[in-house]
Chains A and B, each alone.
Chain A
Amino acid sequence: MDIQTRDLNKIVVFDISGDLSRPSGVSLHQAVKSQHERGMRNIILNFAEVGFVDSFGVGEILASYISTQHLGGKIKLCRISKKLYLVFQVTGLIKILEIFEDCESALQSFEAL
């Protein structure tokens, strides 16, 4: 897994590619915490290039969500696969995570705040 970040005003977009899974060994949560240390609180996770998400990946997403939310920030997900969306539905995660079809909408939702 690889994470590229870009700043858009006070929002950071994480362009994630590859699998968000145990073998990738990259910690999404650690990357999110680094943004907190820069004072960034609003983050978009772009899943357009993500192939597979396992329980490790979900744990990373949730840990990122919790630590960001505690600081008064928000994490939003965009362009997740149908499969992931379906599993989020079954597990109730769509009630918690803000998920957008495209990243532009996610960005606009931040700007509307």
Chain B
Amino acid sequence: MDDGRLYRFLRRFADIRPQEVRSALYLFLYFFLITFTYYIIKAVKENLVIGINPRLWPVADLITAVLIGFVVAWNARLLNRLPRKTYASRTLVFFVSNLLLFWFVFWLQPRRKFWISALLVLAKTSDVQIGSVLAFSLWTDLFIAMSVTQFWIAVNDVFKIHQVKRMVGFLVTGGLLGGIAGSLLTYGLVHLINPVNLILICPATLLLALVVVNFLHAERERTQDGSTADPAWAGSGIGYLESFRTVRRDRYLRILAGALASAMVVGQLIKYQFQFIVKSNYPNPGERTAFLAFFFLAILVISTVFHLFTTGQLLKRFGIRLTLLVAPSVLLVAALVAFFIPVAALGALMVWAIGTRGGERIFDTTVGQSVRELLYIPIADEIKYKAKIFIDMFVSKLGTGLGAALYLLLYYGLSLYRYVELPGEPLGLAVRYFGLPVVVFAVLWIVLTWIIYAEYLGAVKQDLEEKWPNPDKLIQAHVDMDSTLLIFELLQSRQKSSTLYAMNLFRLKQMEKLTPEVMEVLTFKEDELKAKSMDSLLGVGGEVFYPGVEEAMTADDFEVMVREIVALPSYKQLMERHLVGAGGTKTDTEVARMEAARLMGLMEPTPGVLQSLARLLRDPSPDVLNYALDSAAIHLQKEHIPLMIPLLGNPTTRQAAQYALAAFGPRIMDTLRKHLQDRRERPDVREAIPEVLTRFGTQKAADILVAELCLREPELEEALVQALREIRLEFPDVLFREQKISEVILSLIRTNYAAILSAAGERPGGGARPTLPGAKAAVDLRTKRIFDLLTLVHPPDDIVKAYQNILQGTKKSVDSSLELLDNILDRTIKTYLFPLIEDLPPAEREHRLKKLAKGLGVVSS
């Protein structure tokens, strides 16, 4: 089957990309072969362990917990020293040789050769048997722990964060199917051959795994441009102690370790509860073995079905946090249920035990395993492998050991053995007592899970850096916009008239913007101009300026003097007559009208002044209008508003009109709303209104903007979104209704779907060629708008960083961005948004959009 066919085939089962096909398939086979082998070994081991005294059951677990540290140290050293491919190959060969040795020991024992006893330190035959069984049990635990860890290391080597998340379900299915196949083979052969001889199948399957591993690494080298460098470990000289220190130093890893250990304690105690209930219900070893074989096979089958239909859905629907909480919550409830079962009701206890142990196993092999692996993904490569080995192998076994120790403590310390071993004693009491620590550790597990989720998102965010600064914030931090515009106004006025210049200078002073820096520019450069006879730096035209006007303006008494003059009744009378009669009429020069408009801002708002100002607000000159608007912003007269609003439509007066209208404050909002909603109003006037509302920064202003946005008028969209984005930035207390924002976002997504599918439809052969540049640019602008809207209902910094990294990030940071969005966005939004923002080949993107288009209500051409 070529890659294309294989891809189309695998796509039915997994959310896979064409370039991932081979690696995914090799990993699937790798996991299949490991679990296939393990479930054969497990059946043989269970059979051997059940044969020894039940009091010795926890011993194997305790020995494993104690010895696992040494194995971790050895494993860490191997990982540290060997290239990943060599490490994986050599450990597989090591396991093969171990299995042959165990088979040889078990094969020899029944033959009772005298030298075997001698070889095994002169021990009694029964001790030799127990010793070899415990050794095999220990080896089995180590084998599965190391093999699974190696498998997930391989997954992390080959795939990045979001790839793993997409494919984890597929890969775990490989493991489950391997387990079923191994169990079925064992079940079929156990009646035909000696169970010990089943061990001989395992070296063959592990050698097959060896072949797969080599293919996997060859593929990895091919897809990573021949690069054979392994993440993190190469040459770092790190051992077991360093792994331990790594976990100890990192809060996230400590919590992860704590959650896993709690889960292991819960699982271990449930296992013992299950075992003594089964022992009590099935005293006959043959019947018990048959029951256990059937039970484990059933669990695997249920796990597979559950996994295929539920794990992915749980993750998609509820995200990592709730999925993580499923197992501890269900087991906590199960532990509490045991307290309501009559203590002597063996049948009911058996049903409870099957349900609880079955549930624990199913959750552990499906949801638990998948999500646990996801939690490692945001950890930096350089510490991931150190930590993973320590947590997966040491901490998990420590949890098992702790569970075993608690079992022994309760079993002997509280004399619970009498309920288990003595006939006539109520077994249910033992179940209840063992249930108490289960409750405690399940609660701890829930708490740690809750905490780790918050830490998880924090760890994901660490990968995201700001690719470019937010221009709004940058301007806010570095530029005083009001003074900037006034300074430019001032310089402009110098070209027009010395009176206007003086008036503007005074206005700047009134606003306390006549800083020493500005003064330096105004005075020093003028001297330079004279001295060097250069072209005008601050061009003054032909008019003569009174020297030192800037210094005079800064004198303390200057402002007082001006105020006193404008307050004089005679001044008012004269100036009013001048403004009404001469200044400010159309027959005056433009400069005279500008001066009059500026002057009106200095004067008291008498009816005459206001009337003249109203006339100037209708002036044909944009320069006059700007001064008139500035004065109108000082007097704030209601009757000027209808004259000011049309000026929003003119680009040359828009800024001043926005400033002047904003000066009225929130009381003007209803008027602005009317004009914004009025479809007969000029579009450029309506477009300028959102910016005015932004300046109020109130909840009402935001609500008006959102309500208008929901009406979906494309020509207003940009202005509305920009205004809302600014409100969010400057007024973080303003709230936005997620449902309304989501509706708009979905509408934008819908438009993008239609645009892409329509462009694909116009091309011969569909998605083989890239989308037309114009259409693509429009799609990109709408995508940006979607992210702007997302900032309204999610932390703006997170959304902005995610957007920036998707656009310009590294492969890892793109992946982290998607992971972050996957965790914080609403399910519907992310379902439809992701195919637009993921890095997909055009044909693949179109395929996905087509699949989702119907649900979104898109009619493609």
Chain A interface (Cβ within 8 Å of chain B)? Answer: 21-23, 25, 27, 30, 36-39, 52-59, 62, 65-66, 69-72, 82-83, 86-87, 90-93, 95-96
8 contacts between A and B (CB under 8 A): A37-B774, A37-B781, A38-B774, A39-B777, A62-B475, A72-B467, A72-B808, A96-B479
Give the residue among A22, A52, A83, A95 with the most B Cβ atoms within 10 A. Answer: A22
A39 contact set on B, CB distance < 8 A? 773-774, 776-777, 780
B479 in complex: contacting residue of A21, A72, A92, CB < 8 Å:
A92
* Cβ-defined contact, A59 with B485, below 8 A: yes
* Cα distance A84–B470 in the bound complex, in angstroms: 24
B800 — nearest CB in chain A belongs to which residue? A70
* Cα distance A39–B653 in the bound complex, in angstroms: 29
A38 — nearest CB in chain B belongs to which residue? B777
Assuming A38-B773, A90-B518, is B488 touching A54 (CB within 8 A)? Answer: yes
* Cα distance A55–B773 in the bound complex, in angstroms: 35
* Cβ-defined contact, B538 with A83, below 8 A: yes
Interface string of B709-743 (1 = CB under 8 A from A): 00000000000000000000000000000000000
* Cβ-defined contact, B777 with A90, below 8 A: no
Q: Which of B2-10, B187-195, B489-497, B639-647 lies at the interface?
A: B489-497
**Shortest distance in angstroms between B21's beta carbon and chain A's nearest beta carbon?**
32
Assuming A38-B774, A39-B773, A92-B480, is B468 touching A72 (CB within 8 A)? Answer: yes
A21 contact set on B, CB distance < 8 A? 492
* Cα distance A85–B385 in the bound complex, in angstroms: 54
* Cα distance A37–B776 in the bound complex, in angstroms: 9
**Shortest distance in angstroms between A52's beta carbon and chain B's nearest beta carbon?**
7
* Cβ-defined contact, A72 with B804, below 8 A: yes
Interface string of B484-526 (1 = CB under 8 A from A): 1111110110010000000000000000000001100100010
Assuming A54-B489, A69-B468, A87-B488, is B655 touching A59 (CB within 8 A)? Answer: yes
Decide yes or no whether B373 CB sits under 8 A from chain A: no
* Cβ-defined contact, A66 with B472, below 8 A: yes
* Cβ-defined contact, B804 with A22, below 8 A: no
Chain B interface (Cβ within 8 Å of chain A)? Answer: 467-472, 474-475, 478-481, 483-489, 491-492, 495, 517-518, 521, 525, 536-539, 622-623, 626, 651-653, 655, 773-774, 776-778, 780-781, 784, 788, 804, 807-808
* Cα distance A44–B539 in the bound complex, in angstroms: 26
* Cα distance A27–B484 in the bound complex, in angstroms: 19
B495 contact set on A, CB distance < 8 A? 52
- The 7 A-B pairs at the shortest CB distance, nearest first, are namely A39-B777, A69-B471, A55-B488, A91-B484, A55-B485, A22-B652, A54-B492
* Cβ-defined contact, B488 with A36, below 8 A: no
**Shortest distance in angstroms between B332's beta carbon and chain A's nearest beta carbon?**
47
B518 contact set on A, CB distance < 8 A? 90
B525 contact set on A, CB distance < 8 A? 86
Assuming A69-B468, A71-B784, A92-B480, is B776 touching A87 (CB within 8 A)? Answer: no
**Shortest distance in angstroms between B505's beta carbon and chain A's nearest beta carbon?**
14
* Cα distance A85–B703 in the bound complex, in angstroms: 41
* Cα distance A7–B467 in the bound complex, in angstroms: 25
B469 contact set on A, CB distance < 8 A? 69
Assuming A66-B471, A66-B472, A96-B474, is B487 touching A90 (CB within 8 A)? Answer: yes
Give the residue among A39, A57, A82 with the most B Cβ atoms within 10 A. Answer: A39
* Cα distance A59–B651 in the bound complex, in angstroms: 10
* Cα distance A42–B52 in the bound complex, in angstroms: 76
* Cβ-defined contact, B492 with A55, below 8 A: yes
**Shortest distance in angstroms between A101's beta carbon and chain B's nearest beta carbon?**
17
A27 contact set on B, CB distance < 8 A? 651
Assuming A25-B651, A65-B471, A82-B537, is B487 touching A91 (CB within 8 A)? Answer: yes
A30 contact set on B, CB distance < 8 A? 651
* Cα distance A97–B483 in the bound complex, in angstroms: 17
Provide the main secondary structure of the chain A interface: helix
**Shortest distance in angstroms between B842's beta carbon and chain A's nearest beta carbon?**
15
**Shortest distance in angstroms between B771's beta carbon and chain A's nearest beta carbon?**
10
A93 contact set on B, CB distance < 8 A? 478-479, 484
**Shortest distance in angstroms between A7's beta carbon and chain B's nearest beta carbon?**
12
**Shortest distance in angstroms between A99's beta carbon and chain B's nearest beta carbon?**
14
A81 — nearest CB in chain B belongs to which residue? B537
**Shortest distance in angstroms between B853's beta carbon and chain A's nearest beta carbon?**
24
* Cα distance A83–B773 in the bound complex, in angstroms: 39
B524 — nearest CB in chain A belongs to which residue? A86
* Cβ-defined contact, A23 with B537, below 8 A: no
* Cβ-defined contact, A96 with B777, below 8 A: no
A73 — nearest CB in chain B belongs to which residue? B468
Assuming A69-B471, A83-B538, A90-B518, is B485 touching A58 (CB within 8 A)? Answer: yes
* Cβ-defined contact, A71 with B485, below 8 A: no
* Cβ-defined contact, A56 with B652, below 8 A: yes
A69 contact set on B, CB distance < 8 A? 468-471, 474
* Cα distance A82–B778 in the bound complex, in angstroms: 38
* Cα distance A27–B536 in the bound complex, in angstroms: 26
Given A23-B652, A25-B622, 7 extra CB contacts under 8 A? A22-B652, A38-B774, A55-B488, A55-B655, A70-B470, A70-B788, A92-B478
* Cβ-defined contact, B480 with A53, below 8 A: no
* Cα distance A96–B475 in the bound complex, in angstroms: 7
A91 — nearest CB in chain B belongs to which residue? B484
A25 — nearest CB in chain B belongs to which residue? B652
B623 in complex: contacting residue of A23, A57, A82, CB < 8 Å:
A23
**Shortest distance in angstroms between A28's beta carbon and chain B's nearest beta carbon?**
10
* Cβ-defined contact, A22 with B537, below 8 A: no
A70 in complex: contacting residue of B521, B784, B808, CB < 8 Å:
B784
**Shortest distance in angstroms between A34's beta carbon and chain B's nearest beta carbon?**
10
* Cβ-defined contact, A90 with B781, below 8 A: no
B807 in complex: contacting residue of A52, A72, A91, CB < 8 Å:
A72
B491 contact set on A, CB distance < 8 A? 54, 83, 87
* Cα distance A38–B778 in the bound complex, in angstroms: 8
* Cα distance A69–B517 in the bound complex, in angstroms: 29
* Cβ-defined contact, B488 with A53, below 8 A: yes
* Cβ-defined contact, B626 with A22, below 8 A: yes
A91 contact set on B, CB distance < 8 A? 479-480, 483-484, 487
* Cα distance A37–B779 in the bound complex, in angstroms: 10
* Cα distance A58–B539 in the bound complex, in angstroms: 18
Assuming A22-B652, A25-B651, is B521 touching A87 (CB within 8 A)? Answer: yes
* Cβ-defined contact, B622 with A37, below 8 A: no
* Cβ-defined contact, A37 with B488, below 8 A: no
* Cβ-defined contact, B781 with A71, below 8 A: yes
A56 contact set on B, CB distance < 8 A? 622, 651-652, 655
A22 contact set on B, CB distance < 8 A? 622-623, 626, 652-653
B808 contact set on A, CB distance < 8 A? 72
* Cα distance A38–B781 in the bound complex, in angstroms: 10
* Cβ-defined contact, B472 with A58, below 8 A: no
A65 contact set on B, CB distance < 8 A? 471
* Cβ-defined contact, B777 with A36, below 8 A: yes
